[in-house]
Amino acid sequence: MDEPYPDNFDIEINPTEPLFVISVVSEMVHIPIWTLRKLDEKGIVCPERIGKKTRCYSKEQIKKLNYIRYLLFIKKVNISGIRIILNLEEE
């Protein structure tokens, strides 16, 4: 017996699951790779490491990076200032 053809191909993705590699994230959020690495180094957005080197970001982190892009490029806040702003917002 044939199964019915599904009409919905949407899949649920856990927003905290690390799925996206740094090069893809860089294109998605329009932030250079070197800046993403600096944000990781400063502890602002720390992707999960897969293997020894590969940084993988979650949907939640991508959402946070969109906000960071706004602060960096629109509001002209430097990385140290971004860390302070994010810390204040978390409190």
User: Would you say 25 and 56 are in contact if contact means Cβ atoms under 8 Å apart?
Assistant: no
Domains and CATH numbers, the chain: 20-90 (1.10.1660.10)
- b vs e for 43-77, b when ≥16 Cβ sit within 10 Å of the residue's Cβ? ebbebeeeeeeebbbbeebbebbeebeebbeeeeb
Q: What pLDDT is recorded for position 51?
A: 87
Confidence band for 71, pLDDT divided at 50, 70 and 90? very high
Q: Rounded to whole angstroms, how far apart are CA atoms 85 and 53? A: 29
| Cβ(19)–Cβ(59) below 8 Å | yes
Per-residue pLDDT, 6:
66
Structure tokens at 60: 């939640």
Specify the residue for token string 């990385």.
Answer: 79
What pLDDT shows up at residue 1?
A: 55
- Residue located via tokens 């799925």: 19
